Structure 1
Amino acid sequence: MSGSIWMPPGAGPHTLPAIPRQRTAPSWAEPDPIDQLAARLDDFIAAAVHPDEIAALLESDGLSDDQIRERYGVKNSFALAEELYDRVERRYPEPEGPAHDPWQTGLLGCLLRGVVFALPGLGYVLGAPLMAGPRDGFGLPAGTVPLLAGALVGWTWNQGLAHRAYSWLSLGDRPAARHSLLIGAPVGALLGSLVALSAIGTAGIGAVAFAAGQSCYLAAATALLVLGRERTLLAALLPMAAGAVLTMIRPVPDEARLALLLGSLAVVVFLAVLEVAPAGSALKGRGAVLDLRLPPGGRDKPPPGRRRPTTSGPRLSISVPYALFGLGSGILVLYAALGGAPAAVALTLSMGPAEWLLHRFRSNSLAGLRSTSTSKDFWRTTAVTLIECLSAYLAALLALSLAISALWPHTSGVEGIGLAGLLLLGVVLWTGLLLQSVGAVLGAAAVCCVAALAQTLALATHAGSPPWVGLTVYGTAAGVQAALVAGLLGRATAHR
């Protein structure tokens, strides 16, 4: 039968030959070693974003290229890493526990800061006798120019000083922050007093003394607020505030007014010195958990209780834009205050809700970074959050302005064009703070300073203060800053 094909029984000449069945691997065959390695490193490989991460792990385990060729049949660790990367599906597990959010803050603390910002305004009620006299050459009440000049210098200097101190705190160096406040605060108080003295004009010596006290208060309050002593500052201001309210109800002797002013100022300055002086800091104990706060445009907050070693401090130049932002925004607020006291009080009190809503925006932006997968989706998410937070702030500012106008019947209320201008100014301030917090302070400072200069020139070339001047300036500045914010919404690096 040599050369014939075996046929099953009964098969005829037209029957096809049987097809041999495919052989299967015996059950005792060893599994693929690469599959075994992939199963063992499954979690790590699934979370890797590039094969090089897997190669680094293999090399850290001590696998040489010779061992890899012998065990897995590929030439080196990179080839093995690519094979593992291809065999395991990508999975990026969420971190255990809640995601870290440095922008979480309480509403009550922010509202407290707003009240602390507003309470010093009652000092002008107690200090009214010090500024008695005829109107000056600008038609303003006696002593107004020295007060405004000293306040502008104080706001400008202390805004830059606060940023520098916050920068030290963000580096974990609280003693350096205290030292910068210890040196910078007295210099700011001296500068404000000298500028007020140079602008004395026809004002009396009492107005200059009041302006000097104002400069000292601004410097001391800056130190306390930067170091998180809002409640301490509030307690020091309460007697003065109570005296001012009593003065509005019934006459109070001038001696009592002066005693309340000087006493409150002395307490605030003493508390600030106790806070920043080396001896005072030592009394609070060493090695305590650091009470760090994020600077307005800063990030990189170290873990609580740990101090990050630093070889060099923040440059002085990086605080200049923050000082310019304080100057520009301060001038704009002063022009709003000249239009009526309720507007100034409403703006000051609104800084509490503004701070909380700013933190809320930054917090929701971080959440958007984790929940969206494309830049378009992220831009849309942050845009909705921006509209919500800005609308909430404007609603709070509107409610405050209407409430203060109703409670202050003897002054000109905020209504009509003035109310529209106040809300536009609120947009300028809030978007400016937002730009400052994401590190785009140069844009905010430029817009505010140009707007302040434009309004100054407009008022200098027109008689009086036409309502449309502020409306035009605030509207233009608000539009420019809104455009700057919109350009940053989709940039993930701006929201870290």
Structure 2
Amino acid sequence: MSGSIWMPPGARPDTLPAIPRQRTRPSWAQPDPIDELAARLDDFVAAAVHPDEIAALLESDGLSDDQIRERYGVKNSFALAEELYERVERRHPEPDGPLHDPWQVGLLGCLLRGVVFALPGLGYVLGAPLLAGPAGTVPLLAGALVGWTWNQGLAHRAYSWLGLGDRAAARRSLLFGAPAGALLGALVAFAVATADLLAVAFAAGQSCYLGAATILLVMGRERALLAALLPMAAGAALGLVHPVPDAARLALLLGSLAVVAFLGLREVAPLKGRGAVSFCGSAAGRDQPQRTRTRHTTMGPRLSASYPYALFGLATGTLVLHAALGDAPSAVALTLSMGPAEYLLYRFRSASLTGLRNTSTPRAFWRKTTLTVTECLTTYLAALLTLSLTTSALWPNAPDITPTRLATLLLLGVVLWTALLLQSFGAVLAAATVCSAAALAQTIALLTHTAAPHWIALTVHGTAAIAQATLVCALLGRATAHR
């Protein structure tokens, strides 16, 4: 029997066994759990451009790989996502109401922020005659770097609280964080100063301004900040064509600082009384229930999450300072360009949401995203070039406009805009790393005099621009980054 084949009775040896008919699921059998899940997530799965979007949703629902294997018979969330992606036909269901686009902003508001970013630079023009030559700029530079670093991290923490819906906690973080940053900036300026106490006082005022301005910008009070800066800006503009007495310079600087500090303090000061209303129009009675809910539902944003943003502020501030040391009009153009840059960032985020609705394959979405980011970056560089030519034409004794100077400025614009784009998608650590490496390389090369400054800047900015453009293409081509 060991070498024979068993056959049923009556079968002939030359007859092949019949092919069994495929079994069908009995009517009483349990339904396929993957089909049930596909029906439940039908709208989301149908609109997904890539299976990774579905996997992200499954993981956000708390499904572990063990649960997925037990319930659905596949090995992990990615396998289940691919199965759902295959079973549901691609389509984009139209919402019942108007489309919600959180990235729609007005151009005027963004341009206003750019002007607000640039106006404080006129304070240095107004206060320059009060400082003791180049030695007086060292405390200012040190204090400015500390302020940009600290306040970038502080702004992220306050925005994180606002994102959680706890406006009162955002106010508290600004109330305690802004004075601490101002004190730190003043102490650093005093530590690096030689003998010019007036420069230290100027740096201390600069630190106070940065803290108060951060409060107003985070809380959406750009117009109030602009109104407080206008007298100082008018005095600086007058000083470019007509001598201004030192007493008037000092009065304009201190007056603007006092108004900005008062507005910032009024914005975050604790509210007195149950029905008291803050300067931004929020009643204390409305804040209290929100604060109670937040305390019970979350421990708040992690402090360490703000560190990369602080490093990003230090790196980008150093790059802009390097540009300002050799070419002040270019630095002013860069600062003014932050308004158009912010608007184009919002425009890109809005267009990416439209791309998610209008494309059905990963390749089509990648092409759409690449085209949109190219258009936005090109528009920003055109705005930066226009601002650079304008400021150079208006600036007294401005350096000559050369192809090398323009190329260096535009490459730095690419670095800053792509860094802000990466930061807006949460990839701040990557952007901070590239910008920090660029700032460190430019600083070391400048201190060691290894090459001409403009060639150093051109090389560093070009390398950083290529690195960040690569990061943008790698990250923003993924549909999950835009959800």
Query: Structure 2-normalised TM-score?
Result: 0.78
Give 1:281-360 correspondences, 5 Å limit: 282-284=276-278, 286-287=282-283, 310-360=297-347
The change in CA–CA distance for 1:376 and 1:458 in structure 2 (over 3 A counts) is: same
Aligned-residue offset at 1:493: 1.8
Aligned-residue offset at 1:142: 2.7
**Residue 268 (structure 2) aligns with:** 276
CA contact (8 A) 2:156 2:309 kept: yes
Give 1:60-459 correspondences, 5 Å limit: 93-133=93-133, 141-201=134-194, 203-279=195-271, 282-284=276-278, 286-287=282-283, 310-459=297-446
CA contact (8 A) 2:475 2:481 kept: yes
The change in CA–CA distance for 1:484 and 1:174 in structure 2 (over 3 A counts) is: same
Aligned-residue offset at 1:55: 8.2
Aligned-residue offset at 1:145: 1.1
Aligned-residue offset at 1:129: 2.3
Give 1:458-477 correspondences, 5 Å limit: 458-462=445-449, 465-477=452-464
The change in CA–CA distance for 1:290 and 1:194 in structure 2 (over 3 A counts) is: same
The change in CA–CA distance for 1:286 and 1:448 in structure 2 (over 3 A counts) is: closer
Aligned-residue offset at 1:54: 5.3
Query: Structure 1-normalised TM-score?
Result: 0.76
CA contact (8 A) 2:157 2:170 kept: yes
CA contact (8 A) 2:130 2:246 kept: no
The change in CA–CA distance for 1:150 and 1:198 in structure 2 (over 3 A counts) is: same
| 1:232 counterpart letter in structure 2 | A
2: distance between equivalents of 1:95 and 1:213?
52
1: distance between equivalents of 2:250 and 2:41?
73
2: distance between equivalents of 1:51 and 1:409?
72
| 2:299 counterpart letter in structure 1 | S
- Tell me, yes or no, if structure 1 residue 482 matches structure 2 residue 469: yes
Tell me the C-alpha RMSD between the 2 structures.
Answer: 2.7
2: distance between equivalents of 1:256 and 1:262?
10
CA contact (8 A) 1:161 1:181 kept: yes
Q: Sequence identity of aligned pairs in percent?
A: 72
2: distance between equivalents of 1:54 and 1:101?
26
Runs of 4+ in 1 over 4 A off after TM superposition: 53-57, 88-92, 285-291, 306-309
The change in CA–CA distance for 1:308 and 1:359 in structure 2 (over 3 A counts) is: farther
CA contact (8 A) 1:421 1:470 kept: yes
Computing the radius of gyration over CA atoms, which structure comes out larger, 1 or 2?
Answer: 1
Aligned-residue offset at 1:253: 0.9
CA contact (8 A) 1:173 1:308 kept: no
Aligned-residue offset at 1:97: 2.8
The change in CA–CA distance for 1:451 and 1:463 in structure 2 (over 3 A counts) is: closer
Aligned-residue offset at 1:252: 1.2
Aligned-residue offset at 1:98: 2.5
**Residue 61 (structure 2) aligns with:** none
Aligned-residue offset at 1:463: 6.7
**Residue 51 (structure 1) aligns with:** 36
Aligned-residue offset at 1:495: 1.0
Q: Deviations over 1:175-195 (max 9, x none)?
A: 000000001000100110011
2: distance between equivalents of 1:327 and 1:400?
24
The change in CA–CA distance for 1:280 and 1:151 in structure 2 (over 3 A counts) is: farther
Which 5+ residue runs of structure 1 have no aligned equivalent?
Answer: 1-33, 35-48, 58-77, 79-87, 134-140, 292-302
Q: Secondary structure at the match of 1:250?
A: coil
Range that drifts further, 354-363 or 415-424: 415-424
2: distance between equivalents of 1:289 and 1:363?
35
| 2:277 counterpart letter in structure 1 | L
| 1:241 counterpart letter in structure 2 | A
**Residue 42 (structure 1) aligns with:** none
Q: Deviations over 1:441-494 (max 9, x none)?
A: 110000011111111111111178531100000000000000000001221121
**Residue 64 (structure 1) aligns with:** none
| 1:218 counterpart letter in structure 2 | L
1: distance between equivalents of 2:127 and 2:303?
36
Q: Deviations over 1:182-226 (max 9, x none)?
A: 01000100110011111102x511111111100000000000000
Structure number with higher relative contact order (C-alpha < 8 Å, ≥ 6 residues apart): 2
Aligned-residue offset at 1:156: 0.3
The change in CA–CA distance for 1:242 and 1:55 in structure 2 (over 3 A counts) is: closer
CA contact (8 A) 2:277 2:283 kept: no
The change in CA–CA distance for 1:270 and 1:91 in structure 2 (over 3 A counts) is: closer
1: distance between equivalents of 2:214 and 2:344?
22
The change in CA–CA distance for 1:92 and 1:125 in structure 2 (over 3 A counts) is: closer
Q: Secondary structure at the match of 2:271?
A: helix
Aligned-residue offset at 1:311: 2.3
Aligned-residue offset at 1:409: 3.7
